Amino acid sequence: MTIVVTIVVLSAILHVYFEDIALKQTYTSTLTSLAQTSEEASIMAVNARTMAQQIYNDVTVSKLLYFSTVDSLDTGNAMAQLNSYRATSLFIDSIYLYNPKTDTFYSSSEISANSVWRSGEFYDTTAAEMVKHASDYDILMPIPRKIPFEGLMLSSQEKERECYSFLLYDTLSHNDEKPVIIVNISETQLHKNIDGTISSSDKNTFIIDHQGVLITNGWKYPMLTALAHKPYMQEVLGSEESEGYFVSDVDGVRSLVTYTAPDVLGWRYIRIAPYSVITGGLNHMRAYTIGIALAILVLGLLTSYLISRKLSSKVNHKLVKLTALETERRNHFLALRQDVVRDLLLGSGSSHPGGLNEKFQAYEIALDAQWPFAVVVLKIDRYKELVETYSAGDRSLLKIGIMNITQELLNPCCSSLAVDMGDDRIAILLNTPGPGSEAQARLSENLWRGIQSAVSAYIKVSVSIALSSASEDARGVSRLYAQATEALFHRVFYGYGCLIDAEQIEWLKKKQYVYPVSKEKQLIEELMLGRIAGSQRILREIVGETSGYSYSCYHLAVSHLAFAVNNAVSTIQRNNDISWNVNVNALLAELNETELAEQMYGMFFDVFGQVSASLEDKKNSRHDEVVGGIIAIIREKYMLQELSLESIAEEMNLSATHIGRLFKKHTSSTILNYIIEVRMDKARELLLTTDLPVGDTAEKTGFSNSPYFYKVFKKMNGVTPADFRKNGRLQDTAIQEIG
């Protein structure tokens, strides 16, 4: 660790030192390059000034500036001379001569073949504006601008060209309009020179004026873009030093900004280099150093571990063995303590106070066998769900947690010891404090409710508690345990999380219980009739009455009811030919596993529901048979005039009112209407298929007289019987002809 810390600290110091050196070296190199660029720009300006003065002193060219009229020969010679001047330098983009007397521009430029322009027609509109106010511009100082080409309608995509214009005019003349020579230096040529001077710039070198306006095309922004609002540019313009460098955030990239002092033209030269490029080598070195340090650390720790493991293996073996022996001894000791108290509770060990106290002392049990005792039994609620959720080992841990919580809360009040009694029960044996003492006052209902709340909060289970009465000494402990255990059976009435006083349950055992046979008969009658609500109400009454007696009375009542319900179900099966059955032994086994009366009610109610559903299905099936029989009789005897509701009821040996109501419920039609519908169907069939007179047709279909038949037929069919026969036969004839 010491070696690694030393390496890391020294590397950090060297990294900071070398980073500062790298920045200074980069600044020095960049400043030299920028100075060379400034020198190139100055040479460009000197060339432009020299060119303008040569043109100004040229007699041939001066005619275009001052003469009101110039013949074509002189104009041609002057333009040839002007083109020669332009061709002498790659920096020169174009040369303009402005004659104020004729308001004419003479242009030497590769962009246009026309060399003579009227001021109002000249394509370079910005130059036309400049000559009108020439005195506003410094003589022979570069003016950054863009030459517009919209008026030339060029075929190329170029719409404008960046340049630096140098104006030369007579400063002694007081006229507003003066002869002006304009030499335009190409920005492209200057930019190429900058990129050529600083080959590694990656187009991140540019020039600004004193106002922070971009003089050249930058790597992101075009010429004449105002950059003064940029934070890094504000730092450059506001710097008190003529030249320098700093690290700043440039458009979201951490960069090194290097700047020069303003040159003779008033321009500053700026270079922006990504910080990561400058310090890339240092960062790699830092990563390598950290990697080496980590390797040394891992190797050192591994070596230390292997050596320590080899040297201490024997010591570790002894320590593990000693720990195992200690754990085994402690667990065995705890198990023996539990066995002593468990045997006392179950009555299988000696309960004599003298000998028992010796055992208590031997196993460090803080109880006094000669003091009064009480037993509290805790029963875990919903234990069946707990068995399905947790393994036996996990359930044992849960019970240990419950015992620890209980003893911790009981310690301020009395001496106690909790014992696991198997399955869902935990017993607590405690010495009861003397009557009227402060400790006795603490053993109140609030304490036991507090234990229930703590177990629920920390162990996430619910427990029911039964409190026994008190005995004079240890000889009555087994009786108290049996008393509290039996009292807990009454949880079936009190519900989960109940607190039961065993003395009150003892008083209930003295009451004589008589099973209500009359109510059982009422229950069976209601069940036989399919009245489920009544059956459920009577069942609750019978079982609910047993809550005022011992638990055996509850068990007796439930067993009686199970057998009675089983017999009733068997009778219902025989009378109604139903195949399902209820296994009373299985029902009793499930009832014994129920923890609450509501769970027991649910099991009986399920049986009641099955009985009701079966009876309802059987009833519906019997009704379908009755309705089918009525329909069969009507279709068989429709031609008999005496066929009626009463005759059908007499034939079926049923009540006329009953079959009428049943038929209406299942078919939504009365029996009389159905008889008329069947007769009318047969009448329509006879009219279309036979030549019987209408009166005979009425008689054969059961109508008592012809007028009534006519009336009913027309009402149901919209036409008379004769018209119906005629229309039907015409229809048949038309169909045959079409076929």
The Cα 343–Cα 363 span in angstroms is 14
Which residues, including other chains, have CB under 8 Å from residue 34's CB and lie 6 or more apart?
A: 198, 205, 258, 260, 269, 270, 271
The whole-angstrom distance between residue 340's C-alpha and the CA centroid of its chain comes to 56
User: In this predicted model, which residue has the larger pLDDT, 48 or 189?
Assistant: 48
The radius of gyration of the chain's CA atoms, rounded to the nearest angstrom, is: 59
Interval 78-107: pLDDT, tens: 889 998 988 888 888 899 999 998 999 999
User: Which whole number is the average pLDDT over 314-331?
Assistant: 71
User: In this predicted model, which residue has the larger pLDDT, 268 or 617?
Assistant: 268
Alpha carbon of 589 to those of 33, 292, 425, 556: distances in Å? 102, 74, 21, 14
Model pLDDT, residue 379? 94
The Cα 199–Cα 710 span in angstroms is 120
Interval 511-522: pLDDT, tens: 888 888 888 888
Residue 12 phi, psi dihedral angles, 5° rounding = -65, -45
Question: 163 - beta bridge partners?
Answer: 145, 186
Residue 297 scores a pLDDT above 90:
no
Interval 6-17: pLDDT, tens: 888 888 887 777
The Cα 211–Cα 543 span in angstroms is 102
Which residues, including other chains, have CB under 8 Å from residue 11's CB and lie 6 or more apart?
A: 286, 289, 290, 293
Model pLDDT, residue 622? 63
Residue 190 scores a pLDDT above 80:
no
The Cα 74–Cα 116 span in angstroms is 13
Model pLDDT, residue 200? 46
The Cα 215–Cα 194 span in angstroms is 12
Token look-up 């947790």 returns 390
Residue 351 scores a pLDDT above 50:
yes
Sheet-wide strand order for 373-380: 416-420, 425-431, 373-380, 463-471, 499-501
Listed residue (384, 394, 391, 376) closest to 459, CA to CA: 394
Q: Is 496 helix (H, G, I), strand (E, B) or coil?
A: coil
Answer for the pair 581, 569: CB distance below 8 angstroms, yes or no: yes
Q: Sorting pLDDT into bands at 50, 70 and 90, what band is 575? A: low
Of 95-99, 165-169, 328-332, which range is least confident? 328-332
User: Which whole number is the average pLDDT over 684-696?
Assistant: 87
What percentage of the chain exceeds 90 in pLDDT? Answer: 10
Q: Sorting pLDDT into bands at 50, 70 and 90, what band is 620? A: low
End-to-end CA distance of the chain: 112
143-150 CB contacts, 8 Å cutoff, 24+ apart: 143/167, 144/187, 144/209, 144/213, 144/215, 144/223, 144/224, 145/224, 146/223, 146/224, 147/93, 147/94, 147/184, 148/123, 148/124, 149/111, 149/123, 150/123
Interval 710-721: pLDDT, tens: 888 888 888 888
Answer for the pair 112, 207: CB distance below 8 angstroms, yes or no: no
Residue 730 scores a pLDDT above 70:
no
Model pLDDT, residue 406? 92
Of 433-437, 599-603, 676-680, which range is least confident? 433-437
The Cα 321–Cα 142 span in angstroms is 95
Q: At 665, which amino acid appears? A: K
Which residues, including other chains, have CB under 8 Å from residue 528's CB and lie 6 or more apart?
A: 568, 571, 572
Which residues, including other chains, have CB under 8 Å from residue 457's CB and lie 6 or more apart?
A: none
Phi-psi category of 495—alpha, beta or left, where left has phi over 0 and alpha has psi -120 to 50?
left
- Please return the burial class of 608, using the count of CB atoms within 10 Å of its CB with bins 0-12, 13-18 and 19+: buried
User: Which whole number is the average pLDDT over 207-214?
Assistant: 87
User: Which whole number is the average pLDDT over 57-78?
Assistant: 87
Token look-up 């009876």 returns 615
The Cα 539–Cα 541 span in angstroms is 5
Model pLDDT, residue 180? 93
Of 38-42, 83-87, 488-492, which range is least confident? 38-42
Mean pLDDT (the chain, rounded): 83
Residue 570 scores a pLDDT above 80:
no
Q: Pairing relation of β-strands 268-274 and 373-380?
A: unpaired
Alpha carbon of 431 to those of 336, 368, 464, 469, 482: distances in Å? 20, 7, 21, 12, 17
Residue 658 phi, psi dihedral angles, 5° rounding = -65, -50
Model pLDDT, residue 245? 85
Listed residue (452, 456, 423) closest to 595, CA to CA: 423
Residue 221 scores a pLDDT above 70:
yes
The Cα 374–Cα 472 span in angstroms is 9
Q: Sorting pLDDT into bands at 50, 70 and 90, what band is 198? A: very low
Q: Sorting pLDDT into bands at 50, 70 and 90, what band is 199? A: very low
Answer for the pair 54, 62: CB distance below 8 angstroms, yes or no: no
Q: Is 418 helix (H, G, I), strand (E, B) or coil?
A: strand
Residue 117 scores a pLDDT above 70:
yes
Model pLDDT, residue 476? 86
Answer for the pair 129, 120: CB distance below 8 angstroms, yes or no: no
The 8-class DSSP code of residue 703 comes to -
Token look-up 């004599």 returns 352
User: In this predicted model, which residue has the larger pLDDT, 91 or 377?
Assistant: 377
The 8-class DSSP code of residue 515 comes to -
Sheet-wide strand order for 268-274: 205-208, 268-274, 253-259, 244-250
User: Which whole number is the average pLDDT over 158-180?
Assistant: 83
The Cα 191–Cα 202 span in angstroms is 12
User: Which whole number is the average pLDDT over 628-648?
Assistant: 86
Residue 442 scores a pLDDT above 60:
no
User: What's the predicted TM-score (pTM) here?
Assistant: 0.44
Q: Is 584 helix (H, G, I), strand (E, B) or coil?
A: helix
Model pLDDT, residue 133? 86
